[in-house]
Amino acid sequence: MKIIKRLLFLLLIAAAVYLGYFLKQQGSGFVLIQYQSFSIETSVFVLSVFIILLFIISYVLLRSVLRLIKMPVFLKRSYSNYQNNKSSAGLIAGLTEFSEGRFKKAENNFIKQASGNKNSFLNYLLAARAAQLLHADTRRDNYLKQAHDINPDADIAIGLTQAELQLSHQQNEMALATLNQLMAVHPKHEFVMRLMSRAYLQLEDWSHLCPLIQDLRQSKSLPEDILIKTEKTAYSGYLNMTGQRGDIAKLETIWQGMPKHLKKDADTVLLYAKQLISNDELKRAEQVLRDTLNKRWDDKLITLYARFIADIKTPNHETYYHELLVSCEKWLKSNPQQPALLLAAGKICAILHLWGKARLFFDSSLSSQPQADTYLQIALLLEHTEEAAEAQKFYQQGLKFCLHNNRAG
């Protein structure tokens, strides 16, 4: 716009120069203006100068009048700019105090500059955060209420701030109530779901957290490493809680609904198997462990496997344990010195009355790594084969081993 005005001004000057030059070339000429008895006679040049001066004076007067008319608007805008600049300066000062840990001064700065600021609800939100860090929950909630009164349309920003501050002070139930209100208005909002997962995690509400994690995974609102960690914690807590309640049907439902990658996780499989064992679901626990060990080896799983393998009761006893022995012998091809695996194979052979084979497995396990259970199994086997004196030696060795381990521990 300024460029156009300048061009017009230059054109006007050029026209005036040309007119002057034209008049000079053509002669001065004269102009007669008469109105009734009044008349004026002058040269064309003087008249031209008069017209130009009249135009300039009129333009200046018109601009002055327009400025006077716009003066109230100008003053109002200037005052508003002054207020905004002042508020911005106060906001920056408050943020500086906040970042330097002077939360009381920061709070005062935010509140001092809140009035007259079109974005004053932001000042109240920041003041609420400062009050939170001063453990002033009442002032915090009051600032959040004022922020909402100023800008009701900013409910999501205010609600999220409130929930986040409540979670930081372990006010989990209050935070959850706030988040549920936001979720009703803004379903599937990513940050609302993130804060809800945090609330459920702190409340150890696994039954609500696990389904929510599936939504978080679909929305990709959490980094993958944090999502996997939260997912593992949630499902582990859910399995443990359900197992302690003795709800086998629910325990199985949880396992079947778990993500595939967790079913492959050794720690999760171990926890699930332990819950099955504690609820006397030994056959199911054995099947889960065997299926997992067939796909990937893990020493923790075979150690648990060896502890309860001899306690399973089944109608087709001999056929069942022959099948287990085949699995153990297959595993031994790739893990020939694994002490827990050798112990498990020995127990299965003892159940099948394969005494010689059982003794070989027990001796190999003992050589690989002495364990109290291995001493006990050899002693029991010797009693079955009527070698009481030899059995007593292994009972004594097992006792010494336990006493030594207790002292070392």
pTM summary value: 0.72
What average pLDDT does this structure show over 171-191? 91
DSSP, collapsed to helix, strand or coil, labels residue 409 as coil
Kindly tell me if the per-residue pLDDT of 116 is higher than 60.
Answer: no
**pLDDT above 70 as % of the chain:** 80
Kindly tell me if the per-residue pLDDT of 20 is higher than 70.
Answer: no
Asked whether residue 306 is domain-assigned, the answer is yes
Asked whether residue 282 is domain-assigned, the answer is no
Q: Which residue has the higher pLDDT, 116 or 335?
A: 335
Domain holding 305: CATH number?
A: 1.25.40.10
Nearest to 158 by CA among 171, 167, 145, 170: 145
- Under 8 Å between Cβ of 347 and 311: no
Asked whether residue 376 is domain-assigned, the answer is yes
Asked whether residue 85 is domain-assigned, the answer is no
- Under 8 Å between Cβ of 241 and 275: no
Asked whether residue 403 is domain-assigned, the answer is yes
Look at residue 390 in the predicted model and tell me its pLDDT: 92
Asked whether residue 272 is domain-assigned, the answer is no
Residue range of the domain that includes 377 = 292-409
Look at residue 48 in the predicted model and tell me its pLDDT: 66
Look at residue 373 in the predicted model and tell me its pLDDT: 95
Asked whether residue 394 is domain-assigned, the answer is yes
Look at residue 129 in the predicted model and tell me its pLDDT: 84
Confidence band, pLDDT 50/70/90 cuts, at residue 43: low
Kindly tell me if the per-residue pLDDT of 92 is higher than 80.
Answer: no
Confidence band, pLDDT 50/70/90 cuts, at residue 199: very high
- Alpha-carbon distance of 179 to 193, in angstroms, equals 8
Kindly tell me if the per-residue pLDDT of 24 is higher than 70.
Answer: no
Residue 381: partners with Cβ closer than 8 Å, 6 or more residues away: 350, 355, 358, 359, 362
DSSP per-residue letters across 98-115: HHTT-HHHHHHHHHHTTT
Look at residue 79 in the predicted model and tell me its pLDDT: 45
The domain tally of the chain equals 1
Confidence band, pLDDT 50/70/90 cuts, at residue 91: low
Look at residue 223 in the predicted model and tell me its pLDDT: 87
- Under 8 Å between Cβ of 348 and 324: yes
Asked whether residue 389 is domain-assigned, the answer is yes
